[in-house]
Amino acid sequence: MAGGNPKIEAINRFFAAYAAQDMNGIRSVLTENVEWSIPGHHPLSGTKRGVEEVVAFFTELGKSGFKAEPMFLEANDEYVVDVHRGWTTKGRGKVDTTWALVWHFNSSGKVDRVVNLTADQHQMDAFMWANYRLAPLPERLSGARPSGK
């Protein structure tokens, strides 16, 4: 996609790093305290907090051969919206759908928040449950806190 806008160039760098599974390239576009929201009801959904959680998420996606092909990028002073085709090349089942991401940039020109939106959440949920498992209960609950009291 054509550049010129530094925010769009940053997203293009992100997609190039993603395609190469270059986690340092991914890190270079994000703030240390980035928040990245993944929709759905599956083991990898939820908000990832911090660059290392985001990188861990993309490392897992790499195991399923996730690919992305940008179709549209537009920017304003704070945001970039991208629309891309996202699909899998490995694993049980498949994902092949359209995604829209809303990227927020801080005043230093780095991404500090991303919200993913998908055209077919059911397809994504089914694929993720077929290919990823939750951690066993002791590990899953190790950071749990009692609620309400």
CB 35 within 8 A of CB 49: yes
- Specify the higher pLDDT residue, 43 or 138: 43
**0.85 surpassed by pTM:** yes
- Give 24: exposed, middle or buried? Use CB within 10 Å, 0-12, 13-18, 19+: exposed
pLDDT the model gives residue 49: 97
Mean pLDDT on 80-86: 97
Answer yes or no: is pLDDT of 2 > 60.
no
Measuring CA to CA, which residue among 84, 93, 90, 81 is closest to residue 124? 93
Tell me which residue has tokens 């500090």: 112
pLDDT the model gives residue 53: 96
Helix, strand, or coil (residue 128): helix
pLDDT the model gives residue 133: 86
CB 111 within 8 A of CB 28: no
Answer yes or no: is pLDDT of 102 > 70.
yes
CB 83 within 8 A of CB 71: yes
- Give 33: exposed, middle or buried? Use CB within 10 Å, 0-12, 13-18, 19+: exposed
pLDDT the model gives residue 140: 65
pLDDT confidence bin for 4, thresholds 50/70/90: confident
What is the chain's mean pLDDT, rounded? 92
pLDDT the model gives residue 135: 74
Measuring CA to CA, which residue among 52, 89, 50 is closest to residue 67? 89
Torsions phi, psi of 17, nearest 5? -65, -40
Strands (DSSP E) contained in the chain are 30-38, 46-49, 67-75, 79-87, 96-105, 111-118
